[in-house]
Amino acid sequence: MKQHVPNKENEAPDPPPHYVSSLHKPVRVALQNEDIAENAIVITALDNIPFCCHEDLVTMSREKLVDVAMALNAKLPAVLAIDVSHTRPENFIRSSIEYIV
């Protein structure tokens, strides 16, 4: 009786073993801002990062910029909230996001 010998060229490799690693925790970020009026440092912890980089912000539509600003505003103290009113242009919102982060 002939045994089956796998043809390594035609078969997919075995997947890596599945395990939960403590190295793969969700990414979090903390923002540090100075509140001059209160003479205090404000630390804001975000559960996730709403954009990846400056280039990401530059290519975003106004709608996406507002989404990012609103995600930040949900965590920021009111004094640091980003104004996303309809009268504010994209550049203002983008600059405000960059200032905060």
* pTM listed for this prediction: 0.66
Max alpha carbon distance in the chain (Å)?
Answer: 86
The whole-number pLDDT of residue 15 equals: 52
Helices (H), the chain: 54-59, 62-73, 90-100
Under a CB-based contact definition with an 8 Å cutoff, are residues 31 and 71 in contact?
A: no
- Number of domains the chain contains: 1
Q: 70 is in which domain, residue-wise?
A: 29-100
Residue 77 has pLDDT above 50, yes or no: yes
> Where is pLDDT greater, at 54 or 26?
54
Q: In this structure, is residue 50 part of a structural domain?
A: yes
**Residue with token string 């995600």:** 71
**Tens digit of each residue's pLDDT (9 = 90 or more) over 8-45:** 555 655 555 544 445 555 667 888 888 888 898 888 88
Q: In this structure, is residue 16 part of a structural domain?
A: no
